[in-house]
Amino acid sequence: MVFENPLLLGAIGAGLAVGIAGLGSGIGAGIAGASGAGVIAEDPSKFGTAIVFQALPQTQGLYGFLVAILILFVFKSAPEWAMLGAGIATGLAGLSAIGQGIASSAGLGAVAEDDKIFGKAMVFSVLPETQAIYGLLVAILLLVGVFGNSPGAAAIAALGAGLAVGFAGLSGIGQGITAAGAIGATARDPDAMGKGLVLAVMPETFAIFGLLIAILIMLGMMF
C-alpha cells in the first residue's frame, strides 16, 4: 500500500476529525454563547438555559473526538483509507455546528422572552445536528470494515464516501439559518411549529443525498 504504517493515514484522519469538527463547534458555540451572554445580562437566572443551548453545537466536536479515539484505539486494523475517510466525514460534517449555533442562539433568544417555548426551541435547534450524525454514521460504517476485503487502490474510494457525506453536511449551516427563522415564527405563533419544521427540514435533503452517495460507494465496494 501507499504507506507502510497503516496508522499514518489514520492519524491524519483522527486529526482532521477533531480539528475540523472542533472548528465548527467552536464557531457554533461562540455564536450561541454571544447570545447567551446577552440574555444573562438581562436575567442572570437564565444561566442554566444558556448553558444548555450552548452545549448543543458542541456535540459535533464530541463526535470528532469520538471518531479520533475510535480510529486510534479501537479500529486499529481498519483499512487506512477508511480511517482517513471516516475522519474527513466526521470533521466536515461537524461544520454543521455553525448552523446549529445560529439556531441555538435564536432559540435562546426566544426562550429568554417566553419560558414555555423551551421544548420547541430545543427541537428546532437540534435539527442541524442530523448532518453531523450522518457523518458519524458513515465514519462508523467505514471503520467497522465494509471495505474489509477490498483490494488495494479500490479502498481509496472510502475517501469519496467521506467527502460526500462530509461536504453535504455543510447543508447544516443553511438548515441552522432556516431553523432560526422558524423559531422566531413559532415564538410569535405557536401553531406555526408544524409548517416551520417542514421548511427547516428542507435543507436536510442535501445531507441525505450525500449520505445516499456515500452508502452507494460503500455498497459498490462490497459487491
Partner 1 sequence: MRPARMRKLRAVILDEKMDNVVRELHEEGLIELCDLTPKLEDPEWADLLSPSTPAPYIRDVSALLIKTNRFLDLFDSVKSKDEKGLKELLNPTLPPKKRITFSSADEIISYGRSLLEKVETDVKELADRLNELEGRINYLQQLRRYIEYLIDLDIDLEYVKSGPYTYVVVGLVPEDKISQLKERIFSTTDNLSEVIEGEPVITSENERKVAVILVTLKEYRDSVSGELRRSGFERIDVSNLKGTPKENLEEIDREIRECKGEKENILDRLREMANKWYKELLVLHELLEIEKERAESYTYYGRTERTYMLEGWVPEKYVDRVKATIERASQGYGVVEIVEPDEPEEKIPVMLDNPKPVKPFEMLTEMFAPPKYNEVDPTMLIVPGFLMFYGIMLTDTVYGLLLTILGLFVWKKLGKVSEGAYNIGYILTLAGIATVIAGIITGGYLGDFLKQFLGFDIYKTPLALVNPLGDSLYIGESNPLFNLGSVSINNGPIAILLFSIVVGIIHLFIGLVIGFKENLEKKGFKEAFLNQGIWLFLIIALAVGVITNTPCLIGGAVVVVILLCMVKGYMSGGILDAALGAMDITGFLGNVLSYARLLALCLATGGLAMAVNIMAKLLGESIPVVGILLAVIMLLIGHTFNFVMNGLGAFIHSLRLHYVEFFGQFYEGGGKKFCPFKAKREYTTVS
Binding site for partner 1 (CB under 8 A): 52, 55, 59, 62-63, 65-66, 69-70, 73-74, 119-120, 122-123, 126-127, 129-130, 133-134, 136-137, 140-141, 144-146, 190-191, 193-194, 197-198, 201, 204-205, 208-209, 211-212, 219, 222-223
Nearest distance from C-beta of residue 2 to partner 1, angstroms: 26
Nearer to partner 1, 4 or 223 (CB): 223
Alpha helices in 56-95 (DSSP H): 59-69, 80-93
- Cβ atoms < 10 Å from Cβ of 88: 28
Nearest distance from C-beta of residue 156 to partner 1, angstroms: 21
In whole angstroms, what is the distance from residue 174 CA to residue 27 CA? 15
The set of cell numbers assigned to 210 is 450525500
Task: Concatenate the DSSP letters of all residues of 97-157 into one string.
Answer: HHHHHHHHHHHHHHHHH-GGGHHHHHHHHHGGGHHHHHHHHHHHHHHTTTTTT--GGGGGH
Nearer to partner 1, 41 or 151 (CB): 151
Nearer to partner 1, 96 or 130 (CB): 130
Nearest distance from C-beta of residue 84 to partner 1, angstroms: 19
Cβ-proximal residues to 221 (8 Å cutoff; 6+ apart), any chain: 146, 147, 150, 154, 155, 157, 158
In whole angstroms, what is the distance from residue 208 CA to residue 142 CA? 17
Nearest distance from C-beta of residue 142 to partner 1, angstroms: 11
Nearer to partner 1, 8 or 197 (CB): 197
Nearest distance from C-beta of residue 132 to partner 1, angstroms: 9
